Chains A and B, each alone.
Chain A
C-alpha cells in the first residue's frame, strides 16, 4: 500500500534516516538531497537506496581520498562510498579546478551507485558550468551530460562492442566553462556514433519534478516504514526527566 508524502517531508525523513545510519552532517545532508533529487526526477532514488541499503549501512564511516592531483586532473579513490553520499562533493571538486578555459577531469575509482552522479551534474549546470559523467557497466557505456544553466541533464547509454571488466566501479567526470568542450568530449566518447538509448528523457524528468511538487510522491509503505525505522535511531527515549528538558 503506497503512502503519499510531500517532497519536504521525504527530504527531512531521508536526512534523519542517513543520520540514523551514522553518516556525518555533511554526508547525510548531501545523501538526502541526492536521493530526493533522483526520486523527484524519475530516477528512482528510493529504489537505489533500498538496493544499496546494506552497503550504505556498512559505509557510513568511509570517506573518499585524493590519490593524485596533476594540474586540472584529479584521481579520487571513493573507497566504496556511494555517489549518493559523495556525488555532490565530487561535483564541487570538479568546479574547484576550473580555470578560464579548458577541461577539468576527475577519475573516480572504487565508487558505488554511479547513476547517483546525476544530481551532481545538474548542480554543476545550475552553477553555470557544463559537465559530462560517464561510466561503464556490463556491456553498456552510460553517460550524463548537462549544459550550463540547463537544469535537466541528458542521461543515456549505448552498447559497447568491447566491454572492459576493469571499468567496474570507475567513473569519469569532466567539467568545463564551455558547453562546446563538453559536447566535444561526448562526441569522442561515442566516436563510432552508436545508437543511444535515453535512460530517462529530460522532459519526463521535469514533468516528474513538477508533479512531485504539486501532488507529492507515492512511497511504498514498506520503504516508508524502513526509512522511519532507520530515522528513529536519532530519537532519544522519553522519560519524566526528559520531559523536564522541554519545560514540562
Chain B
C-alpha cells in the first residue's frame, strides 16, 4: 500500500475499529477473498473442466476437475463416499465424510491418484505431499440433498423457499492449507502459484469447486434414479445454492497468531472505505444505487433462517434500520457519504453501520479494487533490540492503554482459558478452577501478557532506564514474544485486536465473524457462542458462466424470482 498517498485519508481510528464487537459486526465487502477469487475466475476466464467424472448411480466415485488459469494448471480431486447417517458430523473430530477433496498443482496421473485415494479420505490421519495445496471435506445436508434429488428425479425444480432456508447441498467442516499433512508450504504457494498467492485463495477455490461438484452430483443422481422423468436443475437455482460451512474455535487462534496480517486486512478495508468517503461521487445516480443495495441487503437479512434468537433479532433490527436509512435518503439525499456515515453511527447499531459501509464500497470498484493485491504481506515479528526500557514503557502506554485498563485482579478477567484438546488438537475453552488443563493453556492472553511485561519493565526501569530491550529479553524469555509483538504491531496503523480473550464474558463468535467477513461468507447461523454455520458462494456465478458477461453483483444474495428460477432448466 502507498502509505504516503493514503496518509491524508480520514481512516477510522484503531480504538474504534479494533474493538472486538465492531470486528464481529463486519460484513463481506468487495475485497473479501471469495469476491476477489470469483472476479479473477470470471475476468481472466479460467477454464474449469472435467478430466474425470466416474460416479456410480448413487453418486459415489471419483471426479477430477482441471482448472486452467492464465498462468498454470491445477487439479481438484474429489472422492465421493457412502457414509452411514449416524457418522455424519459437523465437528472437526469426525472421521468420515461424504466427500473428501484435495487441490493439487499440475495434472494428476494414475500413480498420484492412487496415493491420493489412499490418503485424502483419511484427512488428518493421512499423509499427502507438496503437490497438494488444500485438503478439505464436506458432508451432505441430508434433508436438502435428498429433497433436491427427489424433486429433480420427479421432473420438478426444488422450491426456492426451501433453498432460502438451507442454501446449500453440502457443508464443509475444514479446509486445511499451509503445509499441513505434508502439503505445500505457504511460501511455496506464494512463490510458485501467482493465482493463489493471496490469503486463503486456494481454500476458497476448493470450496467453490466443492459447491460445483455438489450441484453436478445432484443432477447426476437424479438422472440415474429416474432417466425418463428427471430434469437438470435450473441454472438460476444452481446459482442460488452456495456451499455450507461450519466454523468453530479453530479460526480464533489464527487471528490472534497473525496480528500483522489481520491488521493489514483491516487497514485495506478501512482504506477502501476512506477512499469512498473522500472521493466517491454521491449524486442522484449513486443515491438510487445505494437505495437499491439497501433494500437488497434488507431482504437478504430477512431471508436468513436461524434458530438463534439473538441472531434473528439482530437480523430483523438491522433490516429495519437499513430500511429506515433507505427511506431517509429517498426523502433527503445525504450531503456527503461522511455525513451519512456519521449520522448512522450516532443512530443505529454497529451491524447496520458496517452493512452500510460494505454497500458504500460496493459502488466504487474503480476506487478500491486495486487494493486487493495488498491483502498479503510477509509476516515478520522482529525485536528492536536497541529500544530502551523507558521507550518500551512509553510504547505500551501509548498503544496498549486498552490492555493496561483491564483489572486483572478481578477473577472474571482471567476466568476463561483456551487449550488444545487431544482430539485433533481442537481449540476449546475452559473455565479456570473448574475445567482441567489450565496449566496447558494456549498463549492467547495478550492483554494479560502485556500487563505482566509492563510491570516487569517498570520495576527494572527505575534502576536502569537506558537498559536495552535486548538485555531485558535475554534474561526474561517469558516476555520476549510479547515484546516482539508490541514493537512490531506498534509500527502498524491498526495494531492488535483490542480484547481480553480470557475474560469470563469473552465472545469468540466476534473473532469468527471477523475472519468470515474477510472470507466473504454470509447467512451467519450461530449454534452457540463457539461455532457458527454459514453459507459461502451463494449467488456466485457457476463454472458454466465463465466466458459470459460477468456482473460482479452476487453479494448479499437474495431469493431469485420464481420465473427467473425456472428459466434455463434443462439447458445445462
A interface residues with partner B (beta carbon < 8 Å) = 3-9, 24-27, 29-30, 63-66, 69, 76, 86, 89-90, 92-93, 95-98, 127, 213-216, 232-239, 241-243, 245-248
Asked whether A65 lies within 8 Å of B475 as measured between CB atoms, the reply is yes
| Given known A-B contacts A7-B179, A8-B186, A96-B471, A26 and B530 have beta carbons under 8 A apart | no
Which of B127, B423, B470, B475 sits near A4, CB closer than 8 Å? Answer: B127
Are the C-beta atoms of A76 and B420 separated by less than 8 Å?
no
Q: Is A213 in contact with B249, judged by CB distance below 8 angstroms?
A: no
Residue contact A235 to B422, C-beta cutoff 8 Å: yes
Residue pairs across A and B with Cβ atoms less than 8 A apart, 6 shown, are A3-B127, A9-B181, A96-B386, A246-B427, A246-B531, A248-B91
Does B2 interact with chain A (Cβ within 8 Å)? Answer: no
A241 touches B435 (CB 8 A): yes
Q: Which of B470-494 contact A (CB under 8 A)?
A: 470-471, 473-482
* Binary A-proximity of B174-196 (CB < 8 A = 1, otherwise 0): 00001111111111100110000
Are the CB atoms of B129 and A92 closer together than 8 Å? Answer: no
Q: A90 with B530: in contact, given A234-B440, A237-B422, A246-B91 (CB under 8 Å)?
A: no
Contacts of B185 in A (CB 8 A): 6-9, 213, 216
For the complex, what is the distance from the CA of A141 to the CA of B464, rounded to whole Å?
37
Query: In the complex the two chains form, is A6's CB within 8 Å of B430's CB?
Result: no
Closest partner residue, chain B, to A69 (CB atom): B471
Separation of A30 and B527 alpha carbons in the complex (Å): 38
With both beta carbons as reference points, the residue of chain B lying nearest to A239 in the complex is identified as B436
Within the complex, the shortest CB–CB distance from B186 to chain A, in Å, comes to 6
Residues on the B chain within 8 Å of A127, using CB: 382
Report which of B179, B386, B527 forms a contact with A6, defined as CB distance below 8 A. B179
Residues of A within 8 Å of B70, CB to CB, are none
Question: Nearest chain-A residue to B484 (Cβ)?
Answer: A26
Chain B contacts of A243 at CB under 8 A?
A: 93, 423, 428
Q: Once the chains are docked, how many angstroms separate the CA of A69 from the CA of B471? A: 10
Chain A neighbourhood of B93, CB < 8 A: 243
Q: Which residue of A lies closest to B526 (CB)?
A: A247
Q: Are A26 and B130 in contact (CB under 8 A)?
A: no
**Closest A residue by C-beta to B479:** A26
Considering only CB atoms and an 8 Å cut-off, how many residues of chain B contact the other chain?
59
**Cβ of B370 < 8 Å from any Cβ of A?**
no
Whole-angstrom CA separation of A177 from B370 in the bound complex:
39
Task: Verify B436–A216 contact, CB threshold 8 A.
Answer: no
Asked whether A235 lies within 8 Å of B179 as measured between CB atoms, the reply is no
Interchain CB contact (< 8 A) of A24 among B178, B470, B474, B478? B478
On whether the beta carbons of A236 and B385 are closer than 8 Å, the reply is no
Which B residues are in CB contact (< 8 Å) with A4? 127, 129-130, 182
B342 interfacial by beta-carbon distance below 8 Å: no
Given A6-B182, A216-B182, A234-B440, residue A26 in contact with residue B428 (CB < 8 A):
no
With an 8 A cutoff between CB atoms, is B443 at the interface? yes
CA distance A8 to B180 in the complex (A): 7
Beta-carbon contact of B383 and A247 below 8 Å: no
Tell whether B248 is near chain A: CB-to-CB under 8 Å: yes
With an 8 A cutoff between CB atoms, is B76 at the interface? no
Given contacts A27-B477, A236-B430, 10 further A-B contacts (CB under 8 A): A6-B182, A8-B187, A26-B473, A63-B474, A92-B383, A93-B470, A93-B471, A235-B421, A246-B427, A247-B528
B423 contacts which chain A residues (CB < 8 A)?
238, 243
* B contact residues around A232 at 8 Å (CB): 422
The residue of chain B having its C-beta at the shortest distance from the C-beta of A9 within the complex is B179
Cβ of A213 and Cβ of B187 under 8 Å apart?
Answer: yes
Q: How distant is the Cα of A246 from the Cα of B425 in the complex, in angstroms? A: 11
Which residues of B have CB within 8 Å of A76? 474
**CB atoms of B478 and A26 under 8 A apart:** yes
Q: Is the CB of A9 within 8 A of B180?
A: yes
Instruction: Determine whether the beta carbon of B435 is less than 8 Å from that of A245.
Output: yes
B418-476 residues with Cβ-Cβ distance < 8 A to A are: 419-423, 425-430, 435-437, 440, 443, 468-471, 473-476
Instruction: Please pick, from A69, A214, A236, the residue contacting B130 in the complex, using a CB distance under 8 A.
Output: A214
Take A92-B385, A96-B385, A242-B421 as given contacts and tell me if A216 and B437 are in contact as well, using a CB distance cutoff of 8 Å.
Answer: no
**Given A66-B471, A214-B130, A93-B183 contact (CB < 8 Å):** no
Q: Which of A25, A86, A97, A245 contacts B468 (CB 8 A)?
A: A97
Residue in chain B with minimal CB distance to A241? B435
- Contacts of A66 on B, CB cut-off 8 Å? 471, 474-475
Interface string of B297-333 (1 = CB under 8 A from A): 0000000000000000000000000000000000000
Instruction: Say whether, besides A92-B470, A246-B427, A25 and B475 are in contact (CB < 8 Å).
Output: no
List chain A residues, Cβ under 8 A from B528: 247
Give chain B nearest CB distance to A166 CB in angstroms: 24
Q: Residue A246 contacts which of B180, B248, B475, B476 (CB distance < 8 angstroms)?
A: B248
How far is A90 from B218 in the complex, measured between Cα atoms in Å?
Answer: 61
Given contacts A96-B386, A216-B130, A235-B440, contact A26 B471 (CB under 8 A): no
- Choose from B191, B248, B475, B527 the contact partner of A213 (Cβ within 8 Å): B191
Which of B129, B436, B477 makes the CB contact (< 8 A) with A236? Answer: B436
A23 → B minimal CB distance (Å): 8
Known: A8-B178, A216-B129. A242 touches B473 (CB 8 A): no
CB of B248 within 8 A of CB of A247, answer yes
- Expressed in whole angstroms, the Cα–Cα distance for A3 and B130 within the complex equals 12
Which of chain B's residues have a CB closer than 8 A to the CB of A214?
130, 188, 192
Picked from B191, B419, B470, B531, the residue with its CB within 8 Å of the CB of A96 is: B470
List 6 tightest A-B contacts by C-beta distance, closest first. A26-B480, A6-B179, A247-B530, A8-B179, A236-B437, A96-B470
With A7-B179, A214-B130, A247-B528 already in contact, the answer to whether A89 and B419 are too (CB < 8 A) is no
B422 touches which of A96, A238, A246 (Cβ 8 Å) = A238
A238 to B531 CA separation, bound complex (whole angstroms): 18
Instruction: Report B-chain residues with C-beta under 8 Å of the C-beta of A247.
Output: 248-249, 527-531
Among B185, B188, B191, B476, chain A packs the most CB atoms within 10 A around the CB of B185
**Alpha-carbon separation in the docked complex, A87 to B427 (Å):** 31
Alpha-carbon distance A213/B130, docked complex (angstroms): 9
| Cα distance, A214 to B183, chains bound together (Å) | 10
A25 to B444, CA, bound (A): 11
Determine if B130 and A215 form an interchain contact, defined as CB atoms under 8 angstroms apart: yes
Instruction: Flag if B91 contacts A64 (CB, 8 Å).
Output: no
In the bound assembly, the distance between CA atoms of A245 and B436 in angstroms comes to 11
Evaluate contact between B420 and A234: CB separation under 8 angstroms.
yes
Q: Considering the complex, give the chain A residue whose CB is closest to the CB of B131.
A: A215
**What is the minimal beta-carbon distance from B497 to any residue of chain A, in angstroms?**
18
| Chain B 239-262 interface 0/1 with A at a Cβ cutoff of 8 Å (1 = within) | 000000000110000000000000
B-chain residues with CB within 8 Å of residue A233 when the two chains form the complex: 440
- Rounded to whole Å, the gap between the CB of B242 and the closest CB of chain A is 22
